[in-house]
Amino acid sequence: MSPVRIWLVGFGTVGRWVAGTLAAQSQRLAGRYGAEVAVVGIASARDGFTFRDDGFGAAELAAAASGARPASGLPGTRHWPATIDGLRATEADLLVEVSASADGGEPGVTHMREALRRRIPVVTSNKWPVARHGAELAALAGFPAGAVPRRVDGDVRHAGDQHTD
């Protein structure tokens, strides 16, 4: 099985936690769900967007997070000063968007729009883009007008859907 290729946008406290958790739980994810994950792109406001087709190892992510060695200096990487340019030039299966976005929702909403227009799912803890642009983002994700996405037993459904379970 091919790994789920992840862009991780926002490499501050939350992004580093996500990267560490994915690395620490990789065997559990593979055993329980049959899913391998590979963080193939990481981005921060300070360092821009760095991509490596075969993904970054846990030690490399830890070094990048600590500032010991920027990801852009690793062999086999491509780098863009602007995150949106890196997203547009590369491929992934999932966007994890946890960048710091101001009350207008930028830059997070631009990253989410780019992914959703390409039918790439988005996971975020980023409140402002959703608060300011939630209806637009839900429409880009393919939710019917007025539907409120919600999580039920690991499955995303629309409020008002009829389910027999």
Query: What confidence tens digit (pLDDT) does each residue in 16-75 have?
Result: 999 989 988 989 989 998 989 999 999 998 889 999 999 998 888 878 877 777 888 889
| Residue ranges of domains in the chain | 4-158
Query: What confidence tens digit (pLDDT) does each residue in 97-142 have?
Result: 999 988 789 999 999 999 999 999 999 998 999 999 998 999 999 8
Residue 164 has pLDDT above 50, yes or no: no
Residue 156 has pLDDT above 60, yes or no: no
Inter-CA distances, 40 with 30, 91, 127, 147, 148, Å: 18, 9, 24, 32, 30
Token representation of residue 38 = 């590979």
CATH of domain 4-158: 3.40.50.720
Listed in sequence order, the DSSP H helices in the chain are 13-24, 26-33, 58-66, 83-89, 108-117, 127-140
